[in-house]
Amino acid sequence: MDLEWMAWTFHTAVFFITIILMLCAMTIWQVVSPTIERRGFLPLVTTRGDRLFIGLLGSAYIHLAWLGLTDQTLWIAFAIAMIWMVVVMRWG
């Protein structure tokens, strides 16, 4: 039985390292300044961690929709996803 391994490219490594660094930064931020649950434009009460998770999940869906619906460069989807993350983290 021959196992197939995922090809780790530079971009894949940067993606996962960025996620790990975001989680570490959020943990330090939580220890230094505990979060207060609040209600933004999202229809539920959220903490910073909740908004980060919702933002990352939304960004993944933006990229998948972009790949499925258009042949344009993925950098545009990345820009839209970054705007989504800022909006969710700030006003979500």
25-73: pLDDT as tens digits: 999 999 999 988 989 888 899 999 899 999 999 999 999 999 999 999 9
Query: Could you give the CA distance from residue 77 to residue 66 in angstroms, rounded to a whole number?
Result: 6
Task: Please give the structure tokens belonging to residue 71.
Answer: 């042949």
Of the pLDDT bands very low, low, confident and very high (cuts 50, 70, 90), residue 6 is: low
Whole-prediction pTM value? 0.78
How far is residue 33's CA from residue 38's CA, in Å, rounded to a whole number? 15
Residue 4 lies in a domain: no
Tokens found for residue 40: 């933004």
Which pLDDT belongs to residue 59?
A: 94
pLDDT band of 1, cuts 50, 70, 90: low
In a domain, 2, yes or no: no
- Using the CB atoms, write b or e for 18-46: b if 16+ within 10 Å: eeeeeeeebeeeeeeeeeeeeeeeeeeeb
DSSP state at residue 58: H
Q: What is the mean predicted confidence (pLDDT) over 71-79? A: 92
Residues of the domain holding 79:
10-91
Please state the domain count of the chain. 1
Q: Look at residue 17 and tell me if it is in a domain.
A: yes
Confidence of residue 10 (pLDDT cuts 50, 70, 90): confident
